Amino acid sequence: TAASPDPRTDCSREGLRKAVLDNLFYATGHAQENAARGDWYTAVAYTVRDRMLKAWVQGIERIAADGDVRCVAYLSAEFLIGPQLGANMLALGITEPMREALASLGQDLDAIVFHEPEPGLGNGGLGRLAACFMDSLATLGVPAIGYGIRYEFGMFRQAIEDGAQVELADKWLRRPFPWELPRGGQQYEVRLGGKTHMETAPDGTLRVQWTPAKTVTACAHDIPVVGHGGTHCNLLRLWRAEAVEAFDFSTFNAGEYFSSVHDKIFSETITKVLYPNDDPYQGKQLRLGQQYLFVSASLQDMLHIHHSLGKPLETFHTTFAIQLNDTHPAVAVAELMRLLVDVHGMDWDTAWSVTTQTFAYTNHTLLPEALEKWPLPLFAEVLPRHLEIVYEINRRFLESVTAAHPEDPDLARRLSLIDETSPRFVRMAHLATVGSKAVNGVAALHSELLKRDVLGDLAAFFPEKFTNVTNGVTPRRWLALCNPALAACISNRIGTRWQDHFEEEIIRLEEFADDPDFQAQWQAAKLTNKQRLTHLAKTILRVELDPAALFDVQVKRIHEYKRQHLNVLRVIALYNRLRRNPGMDFVPRAVIFGGKAAPAYYLAKQIILLVNRVAEVVNTDPAVAGRLRVAFVPNFNVRSGQVIYPAADLSQQISLAGKEASGTGNMKFGINGAVTIGTLDGANVEMRACVGEENFFLFGLTTDEVQAVQRAGYSPAAHLEGNPELAEALDQIRSGVFSRGDAGCFRPLVDNLLHRDEYLVLADFASYMDCQDRAARTYADPAAWTRMSILNVARLGMFSSDRSIREYCRNIWNVPVE
């Protein structure tokens, strides 16, 4: 007789059914009759996790045992991993048997999947990119550890109250998170504050001693990241801060009791909450503490792994390739030097050689104000020893600068790791660049502008370091999982290999672009997705959308440079056309917005209010008769993205040229069959080159034109003269048409546009309107539009994060990959 299958790995329908019931009883303590949706979720999650563990344990063993393969360590303050259950079932290939198993128990898998609270451990693009990269690393079988922070409160939950954003705490850990394993064995002490002094070591050499003011413990929590097919599993290791010792009961008197509790509270504050970006960091001691905690714990962990392989310290860079995801972990350069020199007694030159062969740095922004710099006094207070190390790195670096360029005496000031204006700052991008062997931007244009403007002097000094790796997104989550209708339509024609060989396979759709049968199936899939979003809008927003309308979508963080207000001005202009001429030929549109504003970003919050006020007027005006609808989807996150991207016809990527580093939403929309209307910014440039200019709606000034306009002295009001539609829209906003008669309401926003308009909204308005009209005319021809949609998907193969990761492996990490 055949051996009975292992109840924890059996993936048959019957096996899954038994395992779910078993977990329901033994993990949640509920009989089937009394189980709530959350209990079913827990039972299913444990059942899936069991089936990942074998690959996981093997993956960890591989990292810990095979010193010949360089392991990638991706250091990121954010990992926006999104809901896990659906993605993990997809990777293991057990979605359908699980669906059937649950159906036989009277349960609906989709409802259970939808129940999972989402870990919002990131702000937006940067954190989600890290999660897509982890997915691709596992799928490509590259050994990797993602190191980050386990925030107790992730990105705030956004509610809309009377049109305005309200921030609520994100209690994602209210119920235990079934995908993490707390690792009691992996704990490291991290020191903060205090003073340094010189001390003579037993061997007579002088060493710096750091006497910290505080010590906290970093505790590892591991989340498995399983690759497509389920064979390879990597690890996401997130750190939580804990008090070194919770209580010392033997010695306490009342005073010590309270101070020890106080100390515990301070320690645990460090990983309490994620900082929203586009939030000024000056004065944010705790944020530097967060960054240092996860960096120090991660490096100690890597040194521990390296040591356990029995390899000498000088070869650390052959065990790990460390990628710095922006400058948030850049203090790692100084920390690795400290660990090698102060703790392990290595000489400075050897340590510097190891360090600069270990790190590589990715920059993610072109906005000068977004480059991290720490006020020197703050840095000195939190990390006194690291400031000394930064000074020493800088002294040696500037010596080499002056030696190489005696003709440019100002160069040292511009390249320095210290900004000498008062107050003085540590420039984290400079530290990251000097300490790394490679620096990359995240799209071709961005990498060029980095070299030309943002990091121009550094790039001229280290030309060989600077390179580009264009971003990508995982086609598993962002097509196979979120868009089952379109995925089935694609797989019917070209099979399923596109899921893990996207670039190679998806291009095969090209030949079906004009096939009437295929077009009909494609349109049916899109309609299904639009109905799904229509249902969501109706239930949570009470806004009635028409699935036949052109779904015109802008979802992303709210920021002036992304120009949601340009989109709103266009909506108002369309509204005015309809009111003036109700009988006009008009392609019905649903204009959908979503995104969070940083809590302290006043103008971004005004933009949200304006969208909601315009929606209120437009959606209730009988003259419009439903042909124009506006909706703001609250709390845009990974989960709602998975419903929104698949339903879009038109993707709005309208940032001012030269401001958006890459964008990744543009790619998510594109592979779900939305056509882009956009500027020549970020990765839009490469997307347009791939899909063909005839399949992309282009408008707006180019980067060079923007710079020319700004150099010549931009005057926004000049753009009102030839454009009565624009003047009218601004006038209506100012006079209270969209603020229930309150004329003062949007004054800050309107004044900004009329007198400053840093992001050239008014300059691009006319070009945007024309382009929108072209898009509407094309949409009115379904065969032409569907052809564009199919060709967009077919030709966006290179925007898979698998391609990005292959490039990192080959050009930066020197790690073998298929």
For ligand 26V, the binding residues (CB under 6 A) are: 124-126, 129, 277-278, 326, 364-365, 367, 369-370, 442, 471, 660-664, 682
Q: 668 catalytic, yes or no?
A: yes
CB 802 → ligand 26V: shortest distance, Å?
Answer: 16
Report the residue number, 445 or 486, with the smaller CB distance to ligand 26V: 445
Are 302 and 335 in contact by the 8 Å Cβ rule? The answer is no
Tokens 């596992």: give the residue: 138
Residues 99, 317, 476, 557: which is the catalytic one? 557
Report the residue number, 566 or 776, with the smaller CB distance to ligand 26V: 566
Q: Which two tokens stand for residue 380?
A: 């000195």
Transcribe 42-105 into DSSP letters. Answer: HHHHHHHHHTTHHHHHHHHHHHHH-TTSPEEEEE-S-------HHHHHHHHT-HHHHHHHHHTT
Report the residue number, 370 or 541, with the smaller CB distance to ligand 26V: 370
CB 729 → ligand 26V: shortest distance, Å?
Answer: 27
DSSP 152: S
Task: Report which secondary-structure segment, H or E, holds 139.
Answer: helix 125-139
User: Distance from CA of residue 168 to its chain's centroid?
Assistant: 20
CB 804 → ligand 26V: shortest distance, Å?
Answer: 10
Q: 501 catalytic, yes or no?
A: no
CB 127 → ligand 26V: shortest distance, Å?
Answer: 8
The residue number with the shortest CB distance to ligand 26V is: 125
Q: 526 catalytic, yes or no?
A: no
Residues 446, 556, 795, 806: which is the catalytic one? 556
Query: What sign has the CA pseudo-torsion 452, 457, 462, 467?
Result: negative
Query: What sign has the CA pseudo-torsion 255, 261, 266, 267?
Result: positive
Residues 128, 562, 719, 734: which is the catalytic one? 562
CB 370 → ligand 26V: shortest distance, Å?
Answer: 3
The angle at the Cα of 217, spanning 215 to 222, to the nearest 5 degrees, equals: 155
Report the residue number, 260 or 433, with the smaller CB distance to ligand 26V: 433
Report the residue number, 21 or 370, with the smaller CB distance to ligand 26V: 370
Residues 465, 668, 734, 795: which is the catalytic one? 668
Are 294 and 147 in contact by the 8 Å Cβ rule? The answer is yes
Report the residue number, 512 or 593, with the smaller CB distance to ligand 26V: 593
CB-side exposure of 84: number of CA atoms within 13 Å? 26
DSSP 540: I
Report the residue number, 447 or 792, with the smaller CB distance to ligand 26V: 447
Q: Does the N-terminal peptide bond of residue 212 adopt cis geometry, omega within 30 degrees of 0?
A: no
Report the residue number, 23 or 662, with the smaller CB distance to ligand 26V: 662
Q: 344 catalytic, yes or no?
A: no
CB 663 → ligand 26V: shortest distance, Å?
Answer: 5
- CA nearest to 558, candidates 611, 615, 604: 604
Q: 115 catalytic, yes or no?
A: no
Q: 556 catalytic, yes or no?
A: yes
- CA nearest to 148, candidates 277, 239, 242: 239
Report the residue number, 230 or 472, with the smaller CB distance to ligand 26V: 472
Which is it for strands 650-653 and 675-678: parallel, antiparallel or unpaired?
parallel
CB 130 → ligand 26V: shortest distance, Å?
Answer: 9
CB 451 → ligand 26V: shortest distance, Å?
Answer: 17
Residues 70, 128, 328, 364: which is the catalytic one? 364
- Map 760-812 to HEC letters: CHHHHHHHHHHHHHHHHHHHCCHHHHHHHHHHHHHCCHHHEHHHHHHHHHHHH
User: Distance from CA of residue 285 to its chain's centroid?
Assistant: 23
User: Distance from CA of residue 15 to its chain's centroid?
Assistant: 37
Residues 664, 676, 679, 778: which is the catalytic one? 664
DSSP 280: -
CB 754 → ligand 26V: shortest distance, Å?
Answer: 23
DSSP 153: B
Are 549 and 629 in contact by the 8 Å Cβ rule? The answer is yes
Q: Is 517 helix (H, G, I), strand (E, B) or coil?
A: helix
The beta strand positions in 481-588, using DSSP E, are 550-555
- Active-site amino acid positions: 364, 556-557, 562, 664, 668
